[in-house]
Structure 1
Amino acid sequence: MRRDFLKKIVVATTTLTLGISTLIADSAKWPEKLTFGVIPVAGSTSMKENFGPLTKYLEDSLGIKVEMKLAGDYTGIITGMAHNHIDFAYLGPKSYVEAARRANAEALVVEVDGESGLPGYRGTIITKKGSGLKTLEDIKGKKWAFTSSQSTSGTLVPTVMFSKKRIDPKKYFSKVIYSGGHEASILSVKAGKVDAASTNNLDFNRGLGKQWTKDEFNVIYTSELIPGAPVAIKKELPISLKMALKGALVSYKDAEGLKRLKNKGFIPGDDSVYNSIRELIELKKKLKAQ
């Protein structure tokens, strides 16, 4: 199965510089099992439901065992890659930048948003419908939730926005928490445990009809387009494996699987896609120093 899949990749890749014999020889270096890390944007049950079909598809396509691995926070996935416990991972843009720096991660593909069809998504700030909280001014003095320190839409993007507006969250809000994931933040707003939270349209849509409905929330802020989430692999793994995984991800068209992910699949991508995120990180540092 692996040999047949490699041949398909060779035919489909017009920019290929390695010959088929080289690739077949390289495939002998493949590990017997791959560990697929997924950042915890939702609870473990939701994560298994959403990413389970993709994991099974990759296992069948590559012809080797693929095991999904979850962690308690974003940093756990990055650390897992750094210590060679995770071979490839679904990451957020900021967590990818950190994984590239700390864990020698290499972006293969970029996620395509299910609503816009663009390789990106938008950060949002939400409040509970009926709360009367409809603007950034309204949530002053209220309870606020970021997600993880490594989250792009859940922390980096709103922090830069706040800094530009001269808002210090620790002073502006009565309480600031880190929920750990987007699902947790959204459910905290729904339950009234916090008054407002930062999340994004993609992860919000993943819980629609299961955990919440649109009419339970106000969206009081929407960011500019953020580069789509990447799937990244350890650079030192065989090039034939990286090519095969990239080809499999780009070819993923299972309707039910994509419905669970709330995306339209993946397109080829590379590290340069996330330079804008590196610029945001630097801007955050400069704004904080002012």
Structure 2
Amino acid sequence: MNPLSCSRTVRALLTCAVLGLCTLAQAQQVFRVTAIPDESPTELARKAGPLMQYLEARLGMKVEYIPVTDYAASVEALVNKKVDMAWFGGFTFVQANARSGGKIIPLVQRAEDEKFKSVFITSDPAVKTLADLKGKDVSFGSQSSTSGHLMPRSFLMEAGLNPDKDFRRVAYSGAHDATIAAVASGKVQGGALNISVWEKFVADKKVDTTKVRVIYTTPPYFDYNWSVHADMPAATRQKLSDAFLALSPATPEGKQILDLQRASKFVPTKAENYKGIEAAARSGSLL
């Protein structure tokens, strides 16, 4: 083989090798997703499965759900780009945005999250109003939970109750379903959690409503969203937004995913929607 032919052969082989490596890299690319652990790990995994499969088809790459141990871990995972997308509550979004210097972008939220609510529940016959919780043991969810701690605490303060001074004991169950269990078992006389989980438990008959009842429902506020890091390419962000916005209860796949996500549909959102939550966090010295 003459030198020229040899040179061409080497270049061709190198080109093939580079293309092969690129193809392999693309084949191995994984889009990682996490969520705040506001319910049991088995419930979170059940809700995530069909959505991850749907996003795989829409993004054209493997999508993997990565569970985390607590709310803070979900914040750190997205801020440090260990995951590509996270399901946050309003407060965890505010924390992540502050922690990253404004680099976290909320993409979409459920229509229900535009007017989200929390409920206070009890199994104590003597407790009929928020005022009756004074001197009692009361449980929130996680300390970083919007609907299980921050906003319920904010509305308590507006009602003239300071949890740290007026309750006999403040507990943190870690998750909404755990709060229901604590109230149902009598470990605490009151608990605050998100209305979506409460309604799901009632619908599934997982709570005895002749014993556990709602004593107060909060005014509405913005809550959960799917967020990404600002360093994500705009084209990928658009694909994600389009995928969520395309979900419809009119299709079997869309209905399954929306039902699991407890959503009627997904709608666009923006950082400005969470200014009220940020204000509540700063007012309560929680941020």
TM-score class, shorter: 0.7 to 0.9
CA offset at residue 190 of structure 1?
Answer: 1.6
Distance in 1 (CA, whole Å) between partners of 2:97 and 2:284 is 19
1:127 aligned to 2:122?
yes
Query: After alignment, is 194-203 or 237-246 more displaced?
Result: 194-203
Contact persistence 1:122–1:201 (CA under 8 A): yes
Matches within 5 A, 1:51-90: 51-90=48-87
Distance in 1 (CA, whole Å) between partners of 2:79 and 2:178 is 26
Distance in 2 (CA, whole Å) between partners of 1:176 and 1:166 is 16
What RMSD over aligned residues (CA atoms) do the two structures have, in Å?
2.3
Task: Letter of the 1:244 partner, please give it.
Answer: K
Number of equivalent positions: 254
Distance 1:34 1:216, change over 3 A: farther
Q: Deviations over 1:204-254 (max 9, x none)?
A: 223341632544422111111111411001110111100000110111221
Distance 1:138 1:250, change over 3 A: same
Distance 1:131 1:51, change over 3 A: farther
Contact persistence 2:32–2:64 (CA under 8 A): yes
Name the structure 2 match of 1:155: 149
CA offset at residue 120 of structure 1?
Answer: 2.5
Name the structure 1 match of 2:219: 224
Residue 231 of structure 2: SS of its match in structure 1? coil
Contact persistence 1:206–1:261 (CA under 8 A): no
Contact persistence 2:143–2:149 (CA under 8 A): yes
2:98 to 83, 101, 105: 101
Question: Which blocks of at least 5 consecutive residues in structure 1 are unaligned?
Answer: 1-27
Higher-Rg member (1/2)? 2
Distance 1:30 1:210, change over 3 A: farther
1:237 aligned to 2:232?
yes
Q: TM-score, normalised by structure 2?
A: 0.81
By percentage of residues, which structure has more helix?
A: 2
Name the structure 2 match of 1:138: 132
Task: Letter of the 2:270 partner, please give it.
Answer: D
Q: What is the aligned-residue identity percentage?
A: 28
Q: TM-score, normalised by structure 1?
A: 0.80
Query: After alignment, is 170-179 or 233-242 more displaced?
Result: 170-179
Contact persistence 2:38–2:142 (CA under 8 A): no
Distance 1:196 1:79, change over 3 A: same
